């Protein structure tokens, strides 16, 4: 059985090394292939990683000349996993996601036997102890997409406001989010999943040349994946039996020292992706 792990790397030197090292501690190393996709870092970080973690039979480095974004970068690793290694399971990880369970692959196979999933999401735990799966808010109709676009526009202008006003807005938003995420972590089927760690089954791999809609650059990939997946009657499963740690926003933090600029970058790309999702919804509704 072949398990391919795709790590999307963008300038996160230490995080990517740690991610690889955790994968090398998993059981059944002879069945595991690691593919590190350097997404046009252009900062020599991938060369430093190669010196510290030497390329070998079950570790492949792939370098893109420029930043393809989240969807296309992961699609590149997926295509190699499918066609070069004939993967039966493809695991997609952000470079700041760490797997500590040595029996991780065995647990995934066991969950698949029980659920016959197309896409599986683990319990993703942040450094603050928050749980990111299952995703508690998803843009699955045009009204919600419009609402998210409007909220993003308000947040964009708020990023230019004095610190006190911004903190008040942030405080109110967090309070609302906390009330929405108070839920028991049990196995759930047909739920949206966080993009930091996604597992694709053999059934999904057979039916798809790539997992992510390629027209986005960053953000809303989970929304589009879930929307299209539900149209195709695919099975999304969240299981707390498997856990990963997520030190989120590592790549974005390296790119932006100014938090206001970082926030505006996220909002702009989020809205671009949401508009693509909206177009998909409209075209499907017109059929």
> What pLDDT, in 10s, does the model give residues 105-153?
999 999 999 999 999 999 999 999 999 999 988 999 999 999 999 998 9
pLDDT at 180: 43
Q: How far apart are CA 16 and CA 284, in angstroms?
A: 38
Q: Are 232 and 219 in contact (CB under 8 A)?
A: no
pLDDT for position 287: 42
H-run or E-run covering 122: strand 119-126
End-to-end CA distance of the chain: 40
What's the confidence (pLDDT) of residue 277? 96
Q: Which pTM was predicted?
A: 0.88
User: According to the model, what pLDDT value does residue 252 have?
Assistant: 53
Q: Does the pLDDT of residue 18 top 90, yes or no?
A: yes
Reduced to 3 states, what is the DSSP secondary structure of residue 69?
helix
Q: What is the mean pLDDT of the chain?
A: 89
DSSP class of residue 194? -
* Structure confidence at residue 165 (pLDDT): 47
pLDDT tens per residue across span 232-269 = 999 999 999 999 999 976 555 555 557 778 888 899 99
Highest mean pLDDT out of 96-100, 157-161, 282-286: 96-100
79-91 pLDDT per residue, tens = 999 999 999 999 9
The residue extents of the domains of the chain are 3-136+183-255
For the chain, the C-alpha Rg in angstroms (whole number) is 19
**Class (C level, CATH) for 3-136+183-255:** alpha beta
189: β partners: 237
d(CA 141, CA 227): 9
Beta-strand relationship, 32-39 and 3-9:
parallel
Instruction: Identify the sign of the CA torsion 77, 118, 236, 213.
Output: positive
Question: How do residues 31-71 score in pLDDT, each as one tens digit?
Answer: 999 999 999 999 999 999 999 999 999 999 999 999 999 99
Cis preceding-peptide flag for 87 (omega within 30 of 0): no
């Amino acid at each position: 059985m072949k398990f391919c792990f795709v790590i999307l790397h963008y300038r996160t030197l230490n995080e990517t090394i740690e991610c690889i090292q955790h994968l090398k501690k998993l059981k059944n190393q002879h069945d595991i292939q690691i593919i590190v996709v350097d997404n046009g870092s252009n900062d020599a970080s991938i060369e430093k990683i190669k010196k510290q973690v030497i390329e070998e039979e079950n570790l492949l480095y792939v370098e893109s000349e420029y930043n393809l974004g989240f969807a296309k970068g992961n699609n590149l690793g997926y295509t190699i996993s499918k066609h070069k290694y004939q993967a039966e399971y493809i695991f997609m990880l952000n470079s700041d996601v760490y797997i500590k369970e040595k029996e991780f692959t065995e647990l995934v196979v066991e969950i698949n036997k029980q659920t016959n999933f197309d896409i599986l999401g683990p319990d993703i735990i942040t450094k603050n102890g928050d749980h990111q799966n299952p995703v508690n808010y998803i843009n699955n109709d045009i009204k919600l997409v419009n609402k998210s676009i409007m909220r993003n526009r308000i947040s964009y202008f708020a990023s230019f406001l004095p610190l006190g006003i911004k903190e008040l807005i942030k405080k109110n938003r967090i309070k609302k989010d906390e009330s929405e995420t108070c839920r028991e972590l049990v196995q759930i089927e047909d739920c949206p999943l966080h993009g930091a760690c996604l597992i694709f089954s053999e059934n999904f791999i057979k039916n798809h040349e790539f997992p992510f809609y390629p027209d986005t650059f960053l953000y809303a990939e989970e929304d589009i994946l879930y929307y299209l997946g539900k149209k195709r009657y695919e099975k999304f499963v969240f299981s707390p039996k498997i856990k990963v740690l997520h030190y989120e926003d590592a790549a974005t933090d390296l790119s932006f020292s100014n938090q206001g600029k970082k926030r505006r970058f996220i909002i702009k790309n989020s809205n671009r992706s949401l508009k693509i999702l909206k177009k998909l919804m409209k075209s499907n509704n017109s059929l």
